[in-house]
Copies of this chain bind each other. A is one copy, B any other.
């Protein structure tokens, strides 16, 4: 059933290998040995249990633990990492003097095991190199993001029909999840970081929007159970409260991020004024941000706009405030760059950025949209195209 169009073409893979090899040369590394799912997928277009060996020049080797169905010109079956050196020697690869492992991702004990295999090699960290490389999307990746964004927006057009009077936040969310699945949502939602849990996205109404959460997402929410404290908490949707809908776009391997604000009946006037401030932030970003703009400047600018509006105390949360206003998206929902005041990154063509200036209003809920933008040579392109004003749910009898 799986069609070839779902695999990146070989030229695309070569592009990624060559780019990584350039970085390896600059870092004086002889090889990378990659074992996280996300980076295995990035470098091979496949998911397998094992390792991708990328030498500083030449073709990679895929060391695959369960090779059934994964036969291709780069794959070699292994049972354990200890098999690797001999297999490399048989292929005339010199054992690397310095090798990069994903030391921000692999466990300490996995590190020790691989370390013993490459006992004479110097070890470096591949995680930031790959995160930095993945920050700049290729044309192929941009196509995937555009495709995802289109379905993402189409699903959002059906959210109004998911509402009925007397619905709870979680019922509304599961109605939307159903629309997502029927539109081809893969379910999968990859995040960077070992302590992140998420399920398809987040829907926050009323006071729950102010509930702190341990996860590093922009807003929180109490969740249904203390074992998973984020998002919808079973609240009934109430007249005069907002419903912030931030359900992921996971229609290809590449994720888009989009938030829209819905309302049950008319909200207090303040909500519309504050939502307008968020829209002005998006307008500023779309108009003024260009390649070269510092991510920290974007953060500072949005903070200043929030302060100037008089609503700064509501910006990015109440008691608990997110320390970023946006982030990269791609194979993971939280890629580089991070739009925060400590970022050293600048916008570059090929970045895909989710901007999410959000406000939490006591007694009302959260307002402010999120859109995904591509950084192009001349400026930004918004790819999550859907109504941006607060959308009123129509009471249905």
Chain A interface residues (CB < 8 Å from chain B): 1-2, 6-7, 35-37, 41, 45-49, 65-66, 68-70, 101, 103-111, 125, 170-171, 173-174, 177-178, 181-182, 184, 186-188, 190, 194-195, 197, 199-200, 208, 211-216, 222-229, 233-235, 252-253, 319-320, 331
Also in contact, A105 and B103, with CB within 8 A (given A188-B199, A225-B252):
no
Instruction: Tell me if B228 and A188 are in contact (CB < 8 A).
Output: yes
- A sample of 10 inter-chain contacts (CB < 8 A) reads A6-B225, A6-B226, A36-B195, A69-B211, A70-B212, A104-B109, A177-B181, A178-B178, A186-B223, A227-B253
The listed residue with most B CB atoms (<10 A of its CB), out of A69, A101, A106, is: A69
Given contacts A1-B208, A104-B109, contact A47 B228 (CB under 8 A): yes
Known: A35-B195, A186-B228. A320 touches B66 (CB 8 A): yes
Q: 9 smallest A-B Cβ distances: which pairs?
A: A187-B199, A227-B253, A174-B181, A68-B212, A108-B111, A103-B108, A1-B233, A69-B212, A188-B228
Complex: chain B residue closest to A42, CB-CB: B227
Q: Which residues of B contact A216 (CB under 8 A)?
A: 49
CB < 8 Å neighbour of A47 from B108, B178, B226: B226
Cβ contacts under 8 Å, A105 to chain B: 107, 194
Q: For the complex, give the distance between the alpha carbons of A66 and B35 in Å.
A: 31
State whether A226 touches B7 (Cβ < 8 A): yes
Residues of chain B within 8 A of A111, CB atoms compared: 108
A178 to B162 alpha-carbon distance, docked (Å): 13
Chain B residues with CB under 8 A of A188: 197, 199, 227-228
Q: In the assembly, what is the distance between CA of A85 and CA of B355, in Å? A: 38
Assess whether A107 is in contact with B104, with CB atoms less than 8 Å apart. Answer: yes
- Name the one of B36, B194, B199, B233 contacting A36, with C-beta atoms under 8 angstroms: B194
- Closest chain B residue to A229, Cβ basis: B47
Task: Provide the residues of chain B in CB contact with A228, threshold 8 Å.
Answer: 47, 186-188, 253
Q: Could you tell me if B212 and A200 are in contact, using CB atoms closer than 8 angstroms?
A: no
A2 contacts B35, CB within 8 Å?
no
Question: Which one of B108, B184, B235 lies within 8 Å of A106 (CB-CB)?
Answer: B108
Asked if B224 and A184 make an inter-chain contact with CB atoms under 8 angstroms apart, the answer reads yes
CA distance A233 to B320 in the complex (A): 41
Instruction: Give the contacting residue for A227; candidates B184, B197, B225, B331; CB below 8 A.
Output: B331
In contact, B222 and A1 (Cβ under 8 angstroms): yes
Q: Are B187 and A182 in contact (CB under 8 A)?
A: no
A40 vs chain B, min Cβ distance (A): 9
How far is B170's CA from A186's CA once the two chains are assembled, in angstroms? 10
A382 to B213, CA, bound (A): 37
Scoring A49, A101, A107, A195 by chain B CB atoms within 10 A of each residue's CB, the highest score goes to: A107
Q: Which residue of B lies closest to A253 (CB)?
A: B227
CB distance from A35 to the nearest CB of B (A): 7
Say whether B225 contacts A49, CB under 8 Å.
no
Residues of B within 8 A of A187 (CB): 199-200, 228
